[in-house]
Structure 1
Amino acid sequence: MDLSQLVTPLTRQTLSGDVYKQLSELLMNGRVMPGEQLSLRTIAEGLGVSVMPVREAVHRLLSEKALVLLPNRVLKVPTMTVSQFAEITSIRIHLESLAVGQAALRVGKPALAEIRSAHERFTREILAKKPNESSLIALNKELHFTIYRQAQMPMLLEMIESLWLRIGPILNHDFRSNSPRVTEHVSVAHHERIVAALERGDAQGAGEALAGDLQGAADFIVSAGVLLADDPAATPAVPVRGAKKRFPAGTPGRPATERRDIAV
């Protein structure tokens, strides 16, 4: 992947923070794939900065488990096992349902109009003859966070963002695989129920609609077999469905990787 086409050159003084922000957006918007290897030098060139602020931002993302550093010093977007994905989905449903429920109680008319507009932009894209997959992921994230900000709970928002750093690349398997959620516009129906509940001030209905949206995406991703199988000796923290066998390297269905060796 040519990251220079996905990022904006930086000119401000707070370079490390700006690099972190742009890399976070790439992850949350699903612009990189699970298992993809990244290069410090390529990132630095794309942003127009030295390697040092990139290194600092990357170490922050490593501490948040949004990236992983392999024993051979290769930087990689993490893959995820079935039980890890089930656990993070369960946490997301609890936190994001809380956010959307609080938003239903606090949202004002101007924000409702903004949310409705974000929903309509997502809907137009998904109804297009050939939806742009990158746009779908970005518009989906825009709609969700436009809603969550209306909860007016900054610490909750930070927790949700930290989970999206880890889940963003996995959403590629939902929106980039011609799934029924795209072809049959299932996600649009979920979003419409969320927005309608917000407009009614129905906190419970909004939370239930949001949970249905997240669980529907999670069920498809698990059933698609793109996640890694768990260690048979390990006990999953939460029940999971659709676990697939672990694939040998190079087997169709295994998350693809592209080698780009770097020293961090």
Structure 2
Amino acid sequence: MPQSLLADLSQVRKIEHATLSERVYRDLCELIQAGQVRPGQKLTLKGLADALGTSPMPVREAVRQLAAEGALEILPNRAMRVPLMTKGKFRELLKIRLALEGLAVEHAALHIDERGLAMVASLHDSLCVEMHRKTPNVDVIIRQNKQLHFAAYQGSGMPTLVTLIEGLWLQVGPVINLDLRAGSRRLSEAPALLHHGVLLKGLQQHSAALAREGLAGDLLSAADMILAGDGLPD
């Protein structure tokens, strides 16, 4: 067999492996951010591999990366867990999110293009429809809320900043979205819709201050409701 063909086949195998590892990493990120695993919940490689329909090897690689990012903790018995969250740590992460996510929407207000604006507006409309249903689909709400936020953040044209924000969402996602799954007042009162509307208006009017106001209102209203409950230890 020609040596050139062997080289090509070898490259294909490497690409397939890398693609699988990246997919598993993304799937685990979604699982964690969507609140489908709760803080403190123990996980195993086999359990995760079975849930994702893959072998343990790419899961092991993804777990190492997530552990380095603070989204998972490796335990002595080869198990792992989503880190526990305290009110103090949640407040610290909130301050960081207000700074970084606020910076992202300020820049997005100045740089987002028409396609990005249309996407944020469409997601806002879809989220309004879903949250006003008699029985809202929490999975849809969680997914659309994340898509709306990141459509706005990506409009900043600052990919490094967006990557940093993704890391923050890995840490707070289990708490924020588990709260929604538990029947939070955030569903019945829907304060996010008001604040998303202000954020969208800020982007449309190219007002950095208004965009930051909407973003801050969204983060703070959710945090107030979460901290008022008994889901987080002191």
Task: Provide the TM-score with structure 2 as the length reference.
Answer: 0.88
The match for 1:135 is 140
In structure 2, do the counterparts of structure 1 residues 48 and 185 end up closer, same or farther at CA, with 3 Å as the change threshold?
closer
Moved more, 100-109 or 177-186: 177-186
In terms of fraction of residues, the more helix-rich structure is 2
Confirm whether residue 98 of structure 1 aligns to residue 92 of structure 2: no
Aligned pairs for 1:120-199 (under 5 A) are: 120-199=125-204
Confirm whether residue 226 of structure 1 aligns to residue 222 of structure 2: no
Residue in structure 2 matching 1:29, options 31, 34, 50 = 34
The match for 2:207 is 202
Structure 1: which 4+ aligned runs deviate by more than 6 Å? none
In structure 2, do the counterparts of structure 1 residues 172 and 48 end up closer, same or farther at CA, with 3 Å as the change threshold?
closer
Structure 2: where are the runs of 5+ without partners?
1-14
In structure 2, do the counterparts of structure 1 residues 182 and 216 end up closer, same or farther at CA, with 3 Å as the change threshold?
same
**SS in structure 2 of the partner of residue 79 of structure 1:** coil
Q: Aligned equivalents of 1:32 and 1:143: distance in 2?
A: 22
Q: Which amino acid aligns with 1:74?
A: A
Q: CA deviation at 1:173?
A: 4.1
Q: Aligned equivalents of 1:207 and 1:118: distance in 2?
A: 18
Q: Which amino acid aligns with 1:19?
A: V
Q: CA deviation at 1:69?
A: 2.2
Q: Aligned equivalents of 1:215 and 1:135: distance in 2?
A: 22
Q: CA deviation at 1:32?
A: 2.0
Q: CA deviation at 1:126?
A: 0.7
Q: CA deviation at 1:49?
A: 2.6
Q: Which amino acid aligns with 1:215?
A: L
Q: CA RMSD in A?
A: 1.6
| Identical pairs, percent | 43
Structure 1: where are the runs of 5+ without partners?
1-10, 230-264
Maintained 8 Å contact 1:136/1:175: no
Q: Which amino acid aligns with 1:147?
A: A
Moved more, 25-34 or 196-205: 25-34
Maintained 8 Å contact 1:100/1:147: yes
